[in-house]
A and B are shown apart, each in its own frame.
Chain A
Amino acid sequence: MDTFAEVLLILGSALAMIGGIGVVRFGDLFSRMHAAAKAPTLALILVAIGAAIEIGTLLAATTLALVVMLQLLSSPVGAHALSRASRRQLTIPVDDVDELTRDERSGA
């Protein structure tokens, strides 16, 4: 059970690292947001399960469950608010075509 917790901790850390690399490597804002919003959330879930097994008290397990729930609620809301706000300010073409602006102009 202890090795299982270790594996979860390292897997979560690796996922956070992949998110950081993606934020550096991706080309435009929404791609970066895709890397920055989702990878750390799953990383947090894995690390929280690992830490809950490793610590082993009920208090730690409930607190970590609360943290995971809060992150699952707040991360999509924050990412959506940020993308909605920045979408109004900058036109970012996806695959060389800004499809949302095209649809808005055509009055759909």
Chain B
Amino acid sequence: MNVVAMIMLSIGAAGFVYRLVRGPDLPDRVVGLDGLLSVIVIGIIVAAARSDNGSITIETVLVAVFVGFVGTAALARFIERRGN
């Protein structure tokens, strides 16, 4: 059953990667990057749910979520200052 979840997450990640590569402007790429990190976080949690030491793996996710927020906020400030 884990495989089904991972396949669906891969399709979603492919969508975000498409927007990250093709996005016409910088804000579209930021949307793609932010969503891709969210999908990666979800993937780590799904993988940790079935592993033996899941409660240790989960701690990685905490860092990933925080880094994603800081990255999005910094890029938003950058867009506001510089334009797309």
Contact = CB atoms under 8 A, between A and B. Distances in A.
**Majority-rule SS of B interface residues:** helix
A16 B46 CA distance: 12
Contacts, number: 186
B72 A78 contact: yes
A66 B41 CA distance: 13
Interface in A9-51: 9-10, 12-14, 16-24, 29, 32-33, 36-37, 40-41, 43-44, 47-48, 50-51
Contacts of B8: 10, 13-14, 16-17
B59 to A, nearest CB: 6
A62 to B, nearest CB: 9
Contact of B42 (A21, A32, A47, A63): A47
A10 B39 contact: no
Q: How large is the interface on A (under 10, 10 to 19, 20 to 34, 35 or more residues)?
A: 35 or more
B62 A21 contact: no
**Majority-rule SS of A interface residues:** helix
A63 B59 CA distance: 7
B58 to A, nearest CB: 5
Contact of B80 (A23, A48, A84): A84
Contacts of A32: 19, 28, 31
10 contacts: A19-B35, A24-B18, A43-B38, A54-B54, A75-B69, A77-B73, A85-B76, A86-B25, A86-B27, A86-B84
